[in-house]
Each structure stands twice: as structure tokens, then as C-alpha cells.
Chain A
Amino acid sequence: MEESNTLTLKRFIILAVIAVWVVFAMAPLVWLFMSSLKTRLDLFSMPPKFIFKPTLHGYEALFITTYADGTRKVSEIIGTMFNSILIAGMGTILAVALGTMSGYAASRFEFKAKGDFMFFVLSTRMLPAVAVLVSFHIMYARLGLADTRFGMILLYILVNIGLATWIMKGFFDGVPRDLEEVALVNGYSRLWAFRKLVLPMVKGGIAATTGFCFIFAWNEFTFASIITTTRAKTLPVRISAALGKEGLDWAMVAAAGILLIIPIVVLFYLIRKHLLMGMTFGVLGKKE
């Protein structure tokens, strides 16, 4: 209360600057949403139209393909969406599960070359996809994993496991060891203590890790653009197919963008309380 009374001008300036930033951050997103509801004519009008009659044509174009002879069919995007949900979903769940296990081991036990292990795991986070893509392309072709959902799930576990291990280790470090020690002394098993005592205490960590991993897997393009062609194609690859085409249907691109961001925004809003902690632990590997 005191602040808002005595520092009114300063407070006003701070809020104004924040407001300017919010406008800069949100304007393209609002424009994206508006564009997804425009007709072809409105999309290309100059000056740009801020008030227009909204249509769902962009979304329709996304889901329904109209052929030259006028027949309409549900487009292959349903399959692409299914691929994206399955690949990003499974990739995330498995990365979080494996990261939770290895994060717990790294937090509680001493093992040979632990420092090297953590270094190695974290270095996967830095891996430039483009640099190793040539080799993955060859390996996946030889193993028959090219253009398979299974192969893509493996890749997305790989992309995320380093981050997941580090975030979860940070959260486990924050849980007092006494908790398990007492349980062990009383004859409970380590696994029981892990499942019943420790896991419930790191729910927030699991939520944050899930959010970070999902955003990567859901939006990933570089690997997917080369490894997948038809059967395992994901949404970002599908959208990029619009590139280089003359008379690109921007409403459709915008509609796809809106569809892509919705699950992420919902997820992030749900886990917003755990975000900062997750960031602190995972990216910084830091104990609070």
C-alpha cells in the first residue's frame, strides 16, 4: 500500500514500460489470431484491416481439402495432428519419466564418474541438431526408423532427457534426505520411499519439466523436417510445406499457428507457479 501511494510517478513509469512490452509481445499474436479469421481479400488489403467480417475459412482450409472437381475431403492434417500429439506426448512423458529416475539417482547416490555423467547428459541439451542430422539421417535409414513415429519419439526423448534430468535432480536435492532415511530405518524399501514419500513432494518439478519438454517436442522442426516425410509427419513440418508456394494461404498458416500454440498456453498457465523453480533447477542446476 505504501509503495503505491508514495511512489506513484515511478510506479506509473514502470507499469507504462511493462505495458509497452506487453503490446510488443502480444501484437503479433493478436494479429496472428485476426489473420486466421480473415478472407484472402482482407489478408492482403493495404492499409491492413483491423475491423473485418470474420470467417473460419482458414481453419476450414486446414481441415478440409477441396479438389479441382469440387469434391471435399477431410485433409491429411488429422493424421498429422495425431502424429504430433503422439510423438510429442510420448516423447515428453518418457523423457520426464527417465529424467525423474536418473535425476533421483544423481541426487541421492554416489556413483562412478557421476560428474562426467551429468556433464554428458547436459551436453545433449546443447547439441546442434543440424550438425548431427546428417548422421541421424543415415542411421535412421539403416535401422528402418526413418519416417516412423517410434523413431521420432526416441529422438524427442534424446532432445529432452538432459533438461529433464537436471530439473528433476534440482527438485530432488530440495527434498530432505531424512525423509527416506527414517523410512529405511523403519524397514520400508528404498523404492517404496521413493514412490510414496519423495515423488509426491516433487509434483511441481514434474509439472515444470513436462512443460519445458513438451514445448520443445511439440514445436521441433529441424529433426522432423528430415526424418519424417509422410507417415510420421508432424505439424511444424506440415506448416513449413506452405513455404515457397505462390499465393500462400496465410489464413491457413495463421490458423495452424493458433492451433499449435493453444495446448502450450494452457499447459503453461496450469504450471505457471512451478515455472520459475523449474527454470532455476533445470537451466541453472542450482539449489535454493
Chain B
Amino acid sequence: MQERKIPRMFSDRAVCYFFLFPTLVLLLFLLVYPFLSLIYNSFFRYSVLRAAVPAKFIGFNNYLFFLTDDYTWRRFVFTGKFVLLAVSIQFFLGVGIAYLFQTKFKGRDVIFTMILMPMMLSPIVVGLFWKYMFNTEWGLVNYLLSLVGLPAVDWLGNPTYSLWATIIADTWMWTPFTILLAMAAFSGIPKSLYEAADVDGASGAFKFFNVTLPLSAPVLIIALLLRLIDSFKQFDLFYALTGGGPGDATQTVSFQLYKTAFQYFYTGEASALGMILLIIIIGLSSIFIRYLTSLGEKQSA
């Protein structure tokens, strides 16, 4: 009861600012300078490797270069292809598995943890190990194909197949994320709605399309947007699995940016491409956040 006597030393206002202060300071300290320097450098011809050479102001030329460069456009097209294919496959698989997982069975907890495991592995290990499994000489994947009578596939040596190799590895790793989000969405649906449908003798498919899907749609759309953003900016898996190859067939925009910045050390150009990528991601994110906020308002209404 001693503590009861302690006078209220801090007003709520003080506590509020005291609690927000560290986060705000850290974010501002770490983000303001990089962001400004990204914008600044994007207008210059400059390389960190040749710091002695003065940076030359060239206006929007770095941007114009990328926006009119065929090679860069092909990187965008590949990135778009990868994102659309990988994310839609993962979405349908993830939602489907999560729905089936509503069934109760023995050992469900353990199985659930097992299903999530691919997403716990480091993307670098995932990339490297799939590279091992996709190998044409000793890889497990082609061996399994041969068991069912299918021809061997040159997974990492052929541009078309290497796109699918990245999609397969990405799907293996990130479908669990959609499963997890979809499970969270489904768990928010009131049981009474299913019971009511049962009383009316509704079929499983009817329940899925008329109860589950409409009620979990907002959350599922969020899962979709998050996966779009994450896979669009993905870099590490490609780095380890294909290294952008064969040639530059699987080189995404992120990968091109990484190479521009840290292989050729064209700092100015890399900053411009970084800004372009950032603007696209900010555009996607603001759709996402606006959607999220409108959802929150609907909920509290």
C-alpha cells in the first residue's frame, strides 16, 4: 500500500510524449538523412568510389535514362511477370489451405507449425538450397520428375524455366504467410453464421462463397497487397537462387539497382532508380494503408 501514496508525478501528456519520443527520434534520425541524400544524389553524376571527382549536376538525366532505357523496361516487365504469377498462385493456394485447415484434427498445432516453417528459413538459405535441388546433374527436383516419367528440365539454364524456378521457390517460402493471414481472417468470422447456414442445410461450397469469402475479403485483400509489395521489392531470394541469371533473364528491378549501386558504383544513377522504386512502393503502400484505414473506420462505425 506504500505505492498508493506516491503522487502522480507525470501528467498523461508527459507520459504520452515520453513514450513516443524514442521511436520518433530514432525514425527521424535514421530516415531523414538517407531520404534527402537519395533525392540529392539522384540529380548528380556521382560515384562513391571516385569521391575525389566532384559530383556533376545533371538534372533529371538519371531519371530520363532509366525511363527511356529498354533494358530497364525489360527488368520491370520481368519483375511484373514474376510478381503477378507468384502472388496469384500463392494467394489461391494460401487461402485454400487455410480454409481446409479450419477442420479440426489430431496434431493440428504441430502440423500448423510445420506448414509455417519454410517462411522461418533465411531467404539466402532458401535460395541456395533450391539452387542445389534444381541442379540438372544431382538435383532432387529433376529426379522426382523422372520418377513420374517427365523429362528433365534445365531449371536454372533456360530463361522461361528459371522464371518458374523462382516462382516455385518463392511460393514454397511465402505461401505460409498468406495461410497465416487467411487463418487470422477466418478466425474473425462469427461461428453463429456457420451454424445458421448449417440449419438451412447449406453445402460446404455455399458456405465458403457466401459466408467465408465475403466476410474475410477485406483481410484477404490486405494479404494480397502486402504480398504484392513484398515480392515487388524482393531481392535476396533471387540473389542466392539465380544470381539474376541465366544471363540477366531473372534480374528484377531490385537486382538491377543493387548491381548499379554496389557492383558498378554508379551512385547517382542508383539513387534515381532507388527513387523510382520508392515512388512505386509508396504508391502501392498508400493504396494499402488507405484501404486499411477505411476498414478501421467501417469497423468502429
Question: Interface on A for B, CB 8 Å cutoff?
Answer: 3, 10-11, 14-15, 17-18, 21-22, 24-26, 28-29, 31-32, 35, 43-48, 98-99, 101-102, 104-106, 108-109, 111, 115, 117, 119-124, 126-139, 141, 154-155, 157-158, 161, 165, 184, 186-192, 194, 215, 218-219, 221-222, 226, 235-236, 239-240, 242-244, 250, 253-254, 256-257, 260-261, 264-265, 268-269, 272, 275-277, 279-280, 283-288
Task: Check if A123 sits within 8 Å of B282, measured CB to CB.
Answer: yes
Task: Check if B121 sits within 8 Å of A101, measured CB to CB.
Answer: no
Task: Check if B277 sits within 8 Å of A139, measured CB to CB.
Answer: no
Please give me the residue from chain B that is nearest to A215 by CB atom: B120
Task: Check if A250 sits within 8 Å of B132, measured CB to CB.
Answer: yes
Interface-centre pick from A14, A257, A286 (highest chain B CB count, 10 A): A286
Q: Which of B127-173 contact A (CB under 8 A)?
A: 128-130, 132-133, 137-138, 140, 143, 172
Would you list the 4 A-B pairs with minimal beta carbon distance, nearest first?
A: A135-B34, A128-B233, A257-B125, A219-B122
Please give me the residue from chain B that is nearest to A42 by CB atom: B138
Task: Check if B41 sits within 8 Å of A134, measured CB to CB.
Answer: yes
Complex Cα gap A155–B97 (Å)? 35
| Closest CB in chain A relative to B203 CB, distance in Å | 10
Check if B117 is an interface residue, CB within 8 A of chain A: yes
Task: Check if A157 sits within 8 Å of B26, measured CB to CB.
Answer: yes
Task: Check if A18 sits within 8 Å of B111, measured CB to CB.
Answer: yes
Complex Cα gap A257–B243 (Å)? 19
12 A-B pairs with C-beta separation under 8 A: A17-B97, A28-B130, A47-B143, A98-B22, A98-B23, A102-B23, A102-B24, A135-B33, A215-B120, A236-B236, A261-B120, A284-B184
Q: Which of B244-300 contact A (CB under 8 A)?
A: 254, 257-258, 261-262, 267, 270-271, 273-275, 277-278, 281-282, 284-285, 288-289, 292-293, 295-296, 299-300
Task: Check if A28 sits within 8 Å of B129, measured CB to CB.
Answer: yes
Complex Cα gap A120–B22 (Å)? 15
Complex Cα gap A121–B28 (Å)? 10
Q: Which listed residue, A45, A136, A264, touches B120 by the CB 8 Å rule?
A: A264
Question: Interface on B for A, CB 8 Å cutoff?
Answer: 3-10, 12-13, 15-20, 22-24, 26-27, 30-31, 33-35, 37-38, 41, 48, 93, 97, 100-101, 103-105, 109, 111-125, 128-130, 132-133, 137-138, 140, 143, 172, 176, 180-181, 183-184, 187-188, 204, 219, 222-223, 226, 229, 232-233, 235-236, 239-240, 243, 254, 257-258, 261-262, 267, 270-271, 273-275, 277-278, 281-282, 284-285, 288-289, 292-293, 295-296, 299-300
Complex Cα gap A108–B34 (Å)? 32
Complex Cα gap A280–B278 (Å)? 27
| Closest CB in chain A relative to B94 CB, distance in Å | 10
Task: Check if A284 sits within 8 Å of B219, measured CB to CB.
Answer: yes
Task: Check if A190 sits within 8 Å of B8, measured CB to CB.
Answer: yes
Task: Check if A111 sits within 8 Å of B16, measured CB to CB.
Answer: yes
Task: Check if A279 sits within 8 Å of B113, measured CB to CB.
Answer: no
Complex Cα gap A190–B20 (Å)? 15
Query: Quick one: given A219-B123, A236-B122, A268-B116, are A279 and B235 in contact (CB under 8 Å)?
Result: no
Task: Check if B31 sits within 8 Å of A101, measured CB to CB.
Answer: no
Please give me the residue from chain B that is nearest to A273 by CB atom: B109
Task: Check if A240 sits within 8 Å of B20, measured CB to CB.
Answer: no
Task: Check if A134 sits within 8 Å of B16, measured CB to CB.
Answer: no
- Provide the residues of chain A in CB contact with B26, threshold 8 Å: 98, 154, 157-158, 161
Q: Which listed residue, B22, B222, B267, touches A134 by the CB 8 Å rule?
A: B267
Complex Cα gap A138–B172 (Å)? 35
| Closest CB in chain A relative to B13 CB, distance in Å | 8
Q: Which listed residue, A21, A48, A134, touches B38 by the CB 8 Å rule?
A: A134
Complex Cα gap A218–B109 (Å)? 24
Interface-centre pick from B18, B117, B133 (highest chain A CB count, 10 A): B117
- Provide the residues of chain B in CB contact with A45, threshold 8 Å: 138
Task: Check if B19 sits within 8 Å of A105, measured CB to CB.
Answer: yes
Query: Quick one: given A240-B239, A265-B120, are A272 and B114 in contact (CB under 8 Å)?
Result: no
